[in-house]
Amino acid sequence: MLGRAQIVAGAVLGVAAIGLFQLAASSPTALGQQAAAPDPLVTQGHVSVEGREVAYTIRHLPVSSYPELPAAVAAELETRGCLIPQTYEAHRPENVIHGSLERAGTTDWAVLCSVGGRVQLLVFFASGAVASPAVLAEHMEIDRLQSRNTGEADAAGTMGFNWGIDPASPAVVHQAQLAMAHRPATPDHDAVADSIIDHRTVYHLFRNGAWERLKVE
């Protein structure tokens, strides 16, 4: 995924961040002791992979973990009941981004919003109605699972969420189109890089009043 490995490698983990991403180890409940309540930010289950049952874990963060969000956007996400799904490689809060997505000079936001196991890629323009964001993609969480290595189950038999978004500057978009026979001109504002980890990246660019998926090969 273009840019994500560098971002993850450069992340600095504090004690609080580690606590957000660690999954507590399970142990037998002592006699007379209540079992711990399920963590509402962690979804676990099993999916069928080539005829066998494979466990998965998907971690989420609440909207409050992103204090940089404009208050109106945060309020709309809370109203929708959004949780922000984290990829299996996450070391810091991710999948909430901002950039000049409508045109050069604007500050707009894109978010992966998970509600009831379904994830939408939402874009909020600074100039638009907060209650009516653009929906660029939508998938079930369990359709976006893979392991850290092979795309199947890892050695521990667990899969994780593999969908991430990043801002893509005009230079990043232009570089992604390097191999095209008729390479387009560099755009004048940012795009949304919509990626499946270690597989592919789709670039969404708002141009001439509409969203388009850019050709990169």
Q: What is the pLDDT of residues 107-131, one digit of tens each?
A: 999 999 999 999 999 999 999 999 9
Contact 153, 159 (CB under 8 A): yes
pLDDT of the residue at 38:
77
What's the domain count of the chain? Answer: 1
- Note whether residue 64 is domain-resident: no
- Note whether residue 78 is domain-resident: yes
- Note whether residue 115 is domain-resident: yes
- List, for the chain, all residue ranges whose pLDDT scores fall below the cut of 70: 1-37, 148-157
Residue 3: Cβ within 10 Å count: 16
- Note whether residue 39 is domain-resident: no
pLDDT of the residue at 75:
98
Domain that holds residue 179: 4-15+70-142+161-213
